[in-house]
Amino acid sequence: MAVVALGPEHCDALVRFFAALPEGDRTFIKEEVTDPGTVRSWTDEGSAGGRWVAVEDGGDDDVVTGYVGVRPLPGWSDHVGEVRLVVAPSHRGSGLGRELARRALVEAVGAGLSKLVVEVVAEQASALALFMELGFTGEALLTDHIRDRSGRLRDLMVLAHHVSRTWAGMDTVGIADELEESSG
């Protein structure tokens, strides 16, 4: 399996990946990811970059098993990137989510972002743990902030990673170098 930058050649496989997700997983994705036009627009000139996929060789067609994107916020928050991560249910618990999140972190730092945020449904303990292990900390708990497809209200956690604080410590012990090597 390889983690690669999203390109036009991955769009069909990525649409299939999103369509195969359980509906409950798609509830919490902000974009209309089952629309091929939406996914293709991510690779259009001017909007490309900041998105990666985990790809397995599937013979004639590659199979996407995970996706991560870092989307810079607009305007006065353009130093902040929002992380969006999803892994196929069959690959959860395998370390793929961690690998994708690390790639996003390293690439975001390289792109000059100084803060990353991720929104996680509060009851998703494994996702919370993954991001906290990578240096994200809780910034907000938004009670009854999102509604799932069945109409149930859910709490949303906003986690943040302040790059300059965390990477200064990582540089001291050599972790930043290790992360960069693993993403290259």
- Smallest CA-to-CA distance from 68 within 98, 24, 91, 23 is with 98
Determine the pLDDT at residue 110: 85
pLDDT at residue 179 greater than cutoff 50: yes
Band of pLDDT at residue 49, cut at 50, 70 and 90: confident
> Residue 9 to residues 49, 53, 101, 171: CA-CA distances in angstroms?
14, 11, 22, 36
**Mind listing the pLDDT tens digit for each residue in 64-78?**
999 999 999 999 999
Q: Are strands 115-121 and 80-87 parallel, antiparallel or unpaired?
A: parallel
Supply angle C-alpha 111, 114, 118, rounded to 5: 95
- For residue 10, the enclosing domain spans 2-183
Task: Tell me what the mean pLDDT of segment 17-36 comes to.
Answer: 85
pTM over 0.75: yes
Band of pLDDT at residue 34, cut at 50, 70 and 90: confident
Band of pLDDT at residue 174, cut at 50, 70 and 90: low
Determine the pLDDT at residue 150: 84
- Rounded Cα distance, 151 and 144, in Å: 11
Q: What is the DSSP letter of 77?
A: G
pLDDT at residue 167 greater than cutoff 90: no
Q: Supply the mean pLDDT for the chain.
A: 85
Query: Based on the structure, what is the number of domains in the chain?
Result: 1
Burial of 93 per CB tally in 10 Å (0-12, 13-18, 19+) = exposed
Return the SS3 of 56: strand
- Rounded Cα distance, 134 and 127, in Å: 11
**Mind listing the pLDDT tens digit for each residue in 105-142?**
988 888 889 999 999 999 889 999 999 999 999 999 99
Task: Tell me what the mean pLDDT of segment 157-161 comes to.
Answer: 95
CATH at 97: 3.40.630.30
Amino acid at 74: P
pLDDT at residue 87 greater than cutoff 70: yes
- Rounded Cα distance, 20 and 146, in Å: 22
